[in-house]
């Protein structure tokens, strides 16, 4: 087992990364939770695979356990779903001193996390992410929330878990598309923070796609360590934490104008990273050789790197200006200066953005 520490003073917590840890969840939970009652929030797919195993593990450790299902899909990451969880919690008499475990991917983690943050002004939260994207991104850092009809994640909070448990064996049940999508965020960490890790990824991407446990444990732990370093320095995204948004300026816009049903998040991030790298090179921040390295590893991972030709550039630009990261109507991008180092650039010229987006097109 690899343990990564997220250092946030009184809100510090560990991330445990290993294979086969779901069956030991009860043992780990007993070290961190004082209450005996736990509400496990999951979805039907995950519950069918891990529900009994988690229930047995927690009960063996002396916990009283109830489970609540939420529907599977981004469209259910809403206040209505949270209201259903409030009702379930009240029905079973969940108290402020009790705990919530989020068992599933990003939708479960975000929704259950927001529920835990707001129910009775906050109950203890544990994240048990079962997708690669959630293990390296959504479950780490304390961002929880739900969507509004006018945009993603507009209703939320910063709420840190008591611990995160990432079991790499849960990834074996995922379709390859979800593995590739998670690897987009892993690649992002190499670009923004660690050139040696990026080089390791260039050599070992095949092992990760083949779901080799040792390679996955290293990649997930390293990704979590990088995000932990960033979050520890800037918990509430007031400064350096913005570097985690590399690739996301274009990604969020692309997801929005395709109604969140054409690309999974990691695919949009991959396209956004390549576009941001090209834009950085065009404006003199980044070397063309670096752009080629990013584009090449995205391609080798099986991820898209180009904007589909049928996506209007004008619509993309309009969506970018609606993003919550826009400040004073200025476009904000995270630009690589070298592999392993990025900078936050405000007021990026719209003309340059338009030119790069128009030139980053495919027939897909």
Ordered mean pLDDT values, 10 residues apiece, the chain (364 residues) = 91 95 96 95 98 98 98 94 98 97 97 98 98 91 91 91 98 97 98 98 98 98 95 82 94 92 95 98 98 98 96 94 72 97 95 92 61
**Is the same domain home to 145 and 191?**
no
**Is the same domain home to 230 and 268?**
yes
**Is the same domain home to 164 and 198?**
no
Q: Which of 88, 162, 188, 227 is catalytic?
A: 227
Residue 335, φ and ψ in degrees, nearest 5: -110, 130
pLDDT of residue 363: 55
- Which residue range forms the structural domain that includes residue 197? 176-362
Q: Which of 10, 121, 238, 363 is catalytic?
A: 121
Is pTM beyond 0.85? Reply is yes
Looking at the structure of the chain, the number of domains it has is: 2
Residue 327's contacts (CB-CB under 8 Å, 6 or more residues apart) are 346
Active site residue 318: no
H/E stretch holding 124 reads: strand 124-129
Active site residue 83: no
**Is the same domain home to 155 and 183?**
no
Active site residue 69: no
Active site residue 237: yes
**Is the same domain home to 187 and 143?**
no
Active site residue 245: yes
The rounded radius of gyration (Å) of the Cα atoms in the chain is 20
Q: Which of 185, 217, 255, 267 is catalytic?
A: 185
Active site residue 43: no
pLDDT of residue 325: 62
């Amino acid at each position: 087992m690899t343990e990564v520490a997220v250092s946030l003073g009184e809100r510090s917590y560990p991330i445990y990364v290993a294979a086969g840890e779901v069956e030991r969840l009860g043992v780990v939970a007993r070290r961190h939770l004082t209450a005996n009652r736990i509400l496990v929030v999951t979805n039907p797919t995950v519950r069918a695979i891990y529900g009994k195993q988690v229930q047995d593990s927690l009960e063996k450790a002396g916990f009283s356990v109830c489970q609540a299902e939420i529907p599977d899909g981004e469209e259910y990451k809403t206040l209505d779903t949270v209201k259903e969880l409030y009702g379930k919690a009240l029905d079973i008499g969940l108290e402020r001193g009790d705990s919530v475990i989020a068992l599933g991917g990003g939708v479960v983690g975000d929704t259950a996390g927001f529920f835990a943050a707001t129910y009775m002004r906050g109950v203890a939260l544990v994240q048990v992410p079962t997708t690669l994207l959630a293990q390296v991104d959504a479950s780490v850092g304390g961002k929880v929330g739900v969507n509004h009809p006018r945009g993603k994640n507009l209703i939320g909070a910063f709420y840190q878990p008591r611990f995160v448990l990432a079991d790499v064996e849960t990834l074996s049940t995922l379709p390859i598309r979800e593995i590739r999508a998670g690897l987009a965020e892993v690649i992002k960490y190499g670009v923004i923070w660690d050139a040696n890790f990026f080089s390791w990824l260039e050599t070992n991407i095949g092992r990760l796609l083949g779901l080799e446990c040792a390679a996955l444990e290293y990649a997930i732990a390293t990704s979590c360590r990088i995000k932990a370093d960033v979050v520890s320095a800037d918990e509430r995204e007031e400064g350096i934490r913005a570097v985690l948004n590399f690739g996301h300026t274009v990604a969020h816009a692309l997801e929005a104008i395709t109604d969140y049903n054409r690309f999974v998040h990691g695919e949009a991030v991959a396209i956004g990273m390549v576009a941001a790298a090209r834009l950085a090179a065009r404006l003199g921040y980044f070397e063309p050789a670096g752009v080629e390295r990013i584009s090449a590893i995205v391609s080798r991972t099986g991820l898209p790197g180009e904007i589909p030709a049928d996506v209007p550039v004008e619509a993309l630009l309009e969506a970018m200006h609606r993003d919550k990261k826009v400040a004073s109507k200025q476009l904000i991008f995270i630009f690589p200066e070298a592999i392993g180092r990025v900078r936050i650039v405000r007021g990026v010229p719209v003309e340059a953005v338009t030119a790069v987006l128009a030139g980053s097109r495919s027939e897909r």
